[in-house]
């Protein structure tokens, strides 16, 4: 049935819903024949695919802000690719596009679901999956709007070496934070935070109780906590908060693979007397900041004031491993899959 | 040493810091001789004293928004009394005053720490310790400003038969809530909420897991949660919240006597996807609402639209028991001690 008009896409499907940490057998690599684009469609060869922590939630069969992935269907997620064939106005072969048909090498999609991106000089297309994309906007909106950061605030960010956390800490520094504190899961990452990203101090959360480590790092307390981790980290932040502290609740990676309810934080009642605000958010509610974000963050990248890292895994067949590694903290900065 | 110029005040002191639930031996009743008021002072005979849940925190030796009570000193707290002798401009014998030298029958205090109150017709002076005082303003500010209540919201309030909760539910009803749901600790209280205070529905939290009871009471979810209880109640609210739900964290009475950290809520990560806001507060930060509160709530009381209850215990010697009973849910509405 294969003809010269058909393209073979290699795709990752969810074979089983992970129980706890995902494992190889939860994923399958399949091949699919894609035809030519119909009216209004484009055929895209993907260049970079993203793996993000939130995808772990979509692997469970529970209602959330995004529907769960279906079993035995190709998963979705951010991707940057090049248009090979276009049957739509506004896009032509060779255009670089950002779209949501990830977890696959090729995508046949309605043109209206793809956004053309104009590559900035010396920037990899993968940046649109990270610093200039969803994780970057998450950091920007979460710190500045959700946590209502103001100059002089002492800021603590967990998952600080990750795609979001590393940007949060740097934006806080660029915006005049009193002090920027990060936590990460290895000595190398901790060194990277202070030596390369300009964090004032950082600690490896595996070195002791997080609340003890945070108290040492922030003896005068914290004003803002950007939470990517949940659990013990959030508990430590509640202990460390100054009055009127604000937490942006962005992620809870410590719990994504959990099979039991989280036992922490156990000190949420501290929020009363300290008059804290804890605010959960998802980035899609902050698209009104997109233009301001692109301008400000783009400027910091161009000037070299904002640094970003990528951990690049090559090959679609290694994408499940990249995702599992992400949940295990194997990345520094944005984890992407290069095809 | 006693002369006709001296007044005997009977006072409750903290004899020991309670471990877990307070017990009789944690308190002592003492007598003190009070002299005549010095320049700028007044001598007050107290008529009503307040016991409030927050006082439990002050019995612990921990830093909080109010300093801890000192051992072997008379405790403090809201009181309404009548000026017996005045040595200060602006106050004269017979004036009714609200002040903070409670837990005692008589008080010799600086006049500037007392506020003269003009009694509304047919209202007991004790109302200034409840519906027209701190608990009333707590309910008003917490619902309308902290939880940003808006017409149509489904509102859940815990400790709903208490001094604060009963007012929260009624204000929500008067302001056009879509539905008002309360929890309390006895069948009698539950009946009181729906039959007398106009709650749409209510449940006895001792009848089952709170999350199950709340789901039955609010099958379409809740928008606002006013938390007086913490723990399982907060966990249930997190499960029940609709997107963009808001919690005013006012109290955590379930934990005040706890000797172990709270194990709930264990589902705080739900705040991320649901984009919830949890905001702790103490009423002293909302004094800018006092005038508006007095006018609006005073109006509802005058018109009979807002009902308030008091549980009155008589005699200073019974004040520790009143306080212990309060923590145990023995009150409906405001618990006060009448002298």
Average confidence (pLDDT) over A292-313: 95
Whether residues A112 and A77 share a domain: the answer is: yes
pLDDT of B1 reads 38
Inside any domain, residue A300: no
What values do phi and psi take at B166, rounded to 5? -65, -30
Whether residues B33 and B47 share a domain: the answer is: yes
CB A165 within 8 A of CB A228: yes
Whether residues B99 and B139 share a domain: the answer is: no
Whether residues A103 and A49 share a domain: the answer is: yes
Q: In this predicted model, what pLDDT tens digit does every residue of A213-254 receive, in sequence order?
A: 999 999 999 999 999 999 999 999 999 999 999 999 999 988
Whether residues A115 and A145 share a domain: the answer is: no
Whether residues A88 and A202 share a domain: the answer is: no
Whether residues B158 and B243 share a domain: the answer is: yes
Q: In this predicted model, what pLDDT tens digit does every residue of A62-82 receive, in sequence order?
A: 877 788 999 999 999 999 999
Inside any domain, residue A291: no
Put simply, whether B266 touches A (Cβ < 8 Å) is: yes
CATH code of the domain in which B75 resides: 3.90.180.10
Are A278 and B275 an interchain contact pair (Cβ–Cβ within 8 Å)? no
Q: Which residue has the higher pLDDT, B261 or A306?
A: A306
Return the DSSP state at A323: H
Whether residues B54 and B138 share a domain: the answer is: no
Cα separation, B83 vs B97, in Å, equals 7
State the ipTM, two decimals: 0.94
Inside any domain, residue A302: no
Are A277 and B274 an interchain contact pair (Cβ–Cβ within 8 Å)? no
Calculate the CA B265 to chain-centre distance: 23
3-state class of B243 per DSSP? strand
Q: Which domain holds residue B102?
A: 7-130+308-338
Return the DSSP state at A67: P
> How many Cα atoms sit within 13 Å of A235 on the Cβ side?
21
Inside any domain, residue A294: no
- In this structure, what is the dihedral angle of CA atoms A13, A19, A23, A24, given to the nearest 10 degrees? -40
**Strand arrangement of the beta sheet that strand A201-204 belongs to:** A201-204, A179-184, A154-157, A222-227, A241-249, A277-280, B277-280, B241-249, B222-227, B154-157, B179-184, B201-204
DSSP string, A78-103: -EEEEEEEE-STT--TT-EEEESB-S
Inside any domain, residue B157: yes
Put simply, whether B121 touches A (Cβ < 8 Å) is: no
Whether residues A114 and A142 share a domain: the answer is: no
CATH code of the domain in which A191 resides: 3.40.50.720
The 3-class secondary structure across B79-142, one letter per residue, is: EEEEEEEECCCCCCCCCEEEECECCECEEEEEHHHCEECCCCCCCCHHHHHCCCCHHHHHHHHH
Q: Write out chain A residues lying below 8 Å of B273, CB-based.
A: 57, 64-65, 280, 282
Q: What confidence tier does A3 reach under pLDDT thresholds 50, 70, 90?
A: very low
Domain count, chain B: 2
pLDDT of B229 reads 95
Using the predicted structure, report yes or no on whether residue A4 has a pLDDT greater than 60. Answer: no
Q: In this predicted model, what pLDDT tens digit does every residue of A106-163 receive, in sequence order?
A: 999 999 999 999 877 778 999 999 999 999 999 999 999 999 999 999 999 999 999 9
DSSP string, A160-222: TTBTTHHHHHHHHHHTT-SEEEEEESSHHHHHHHHHTS--SEEEEGGGS-HHHHHHHH-TT-E
Whether residues B182 and B112 share a domain: the answer is: no
Inside any domain, residue B325: yes
Whether residues B99 and B24 share a domain: the answer is: yes
Whether residues B147 and B275 share a domain: the answer is: yes
Inside any domain, residue B213: yes
Q: Which of B268, B270, B279, B282 would best serve as a mutation to test chain A binding (most A beta carbons within 10 A)? A: B268
Question: Could you tell me the mean pLDDT of each successive run of 10 residues in chain B, 339 residues long?
Answer: 72 97 97 96 98 95 87 97 96 97 98 90 90 97 98 98 97 98 97 98 97 98 97 97 98 88 91 97 97 95 94 98 96 96
Strand partners, B42: B86, B109
Inside any domain, residue B152: yes
Put simply, whether B57 touches A (Cβ < 8 Å) is: yes
């Amino acid at each position: 049935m294969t003809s010269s008009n058909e393209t073979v896409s290699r795709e990752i499907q969810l074979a089983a819903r992970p129980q706890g940490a995902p494992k190889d057998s939860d994923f399958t690599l399949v091949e699919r024949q894609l035809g030519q684009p119909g009216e209004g469609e484009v055929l895209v060869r993907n260049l970079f695919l993203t793996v993000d922590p939130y995808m772990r939630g979509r692997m469970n069969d529970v209602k959330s802000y995004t529907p769960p992935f279906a079993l035995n269907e190709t998963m979705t997620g951010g991707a940057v690719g090049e248009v090979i064939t276009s049957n739509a106005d506004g896009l032509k072969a060779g255009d670089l596009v950002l779209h949501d048909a990830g977890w696959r090498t090729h995508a046949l999609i309605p043109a209206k679901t793809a956004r053309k991106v104009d590559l900035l000089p010396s920037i990899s297309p993968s940046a649109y999956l990270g610093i200039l994309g969803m994780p970057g906007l998450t950091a920007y909106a979460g710190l500045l709007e959700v946590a209502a950061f103001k100059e002089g605030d002492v800021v603590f960010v967990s998952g600080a070496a990750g795609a979001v956390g590393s940007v949060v800490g740097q934006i806080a520094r660029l915006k005049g934070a009193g002090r920027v504190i990060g936590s990460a899961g290895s000595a190398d990452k901790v060194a990277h935070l202070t030596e390369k990203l300009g964090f004032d101090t950082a600690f490896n959360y595996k070195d002791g109780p997080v609340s003890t480590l945070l108290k040492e790092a922030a003896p005068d307390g914290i004003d803002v906590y950007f939470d990517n981790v949940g659990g013990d980290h959030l508990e430590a932040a509640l202990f460390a908060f100054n009055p009127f502290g604000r937490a942006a609740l962005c992620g809870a990676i410590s719990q994504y693979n959990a099979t039991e309810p989280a036992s922490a934080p156990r000190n949420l009642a501290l929020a009363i007397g300290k008059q804290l605000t804890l605010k959960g958010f998802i980035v899609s509610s902050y698209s009104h900041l997109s233009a301001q974000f692109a301008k400000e963050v783009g400027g910091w990248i161009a000037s070299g004031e904002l640094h970003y890292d990528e951990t690049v895994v090559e090959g679609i067949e290694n994408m499940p491993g990249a995702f599992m590694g992400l949940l295990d903290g194997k990345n520094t900065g944005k984890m992407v899959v290069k095809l």
